Structure formats: C-alpha cells, structure tokens
Amino acid sequence: LCPTFSEGVTGGSGCLAGDRCSFAHGAQELLFSARTWPEAFPARHIIRLLRDLLRAPFGRPPTGLWRGLVAEAVRRSKELAEVATATANFHEP
C-alpha cells in the first residue's frame, strides 16, 4: 500500500506517516496511525487518499479500511461535499 499512498498523497515526496511509516503498512495499521497521529493525516490528505484508493492498481480497498477512512475524514472535516465526491464512484462488491 505504501507506494500508492506515498505517491498519491504526498506527490512522491515521502511517506504520509513520516517517521511513523512502519505503522502504516496495512489497512488496520494505516487506520491506527490516522487515529493515533492525526497531525500526520490532515482531513484533506485523507480525502485525497480516498481518491487514490479508487485508482489503485490493486483494486478496491478493503471494506473495513474504506469505511474507517471515510468515517475519519467525515469526523475531522466539515467539507462533506469533498468526501461525497471522493466516494461517489465506489460500490461495494
């Protein structure tokens, strides 16, 4: 997951989690990191991360991760229209 997140969210300039990268290698770890170190995951980055997940070459994101990231973005952002736009094309299997 990291190369996709790093390239999409930070423009390839580095890992979104920074020095906490080792915590963000899987779905649950990413969600844990987003909740534990919110400063490393601003709401606008979570929204961009959701958009990147839609385009990810490995297919659809895990349902739990998807719901968790959406909930985190909604909880921390008043820009619900952006979250809706980011999720508009997603359909669970």
Q: Hey, where are the domains in the chain?
A: 2-87
Q: Residue 67: what pLDDT?
A: 72
Q: Residue 61: what pLDDT?
A: 55
What is d(CA 7, CA 38) in angstroms, rounded to the nearest whole number? Answer: 20
What is d(CA 10, CA 50) in angstroms, rounded to the nearest whole number? Answer: 13
Look at 44 and 13; give whichever has higher pLDDT: 44
Average pLDDT over residues 35-63: 64
On whether the CB atoms of residues 42 and 72 are closer than 8 A, the answer is no
pLDDT digits (tens, 9 = 90+) for 83-92: 666 666 555 4
Average pLDDT over residues 50-74: 64
Q: Residue 1: what pLDDT?
A: 42
Which helix H or strand E contains 7, and what residues bound it? helix 2-10
> Of 11-15, 32-36, 86-90, where does mean pLDDT reach its minimum?
11-15
The residue written with tokens 């920074």 in the block is 18
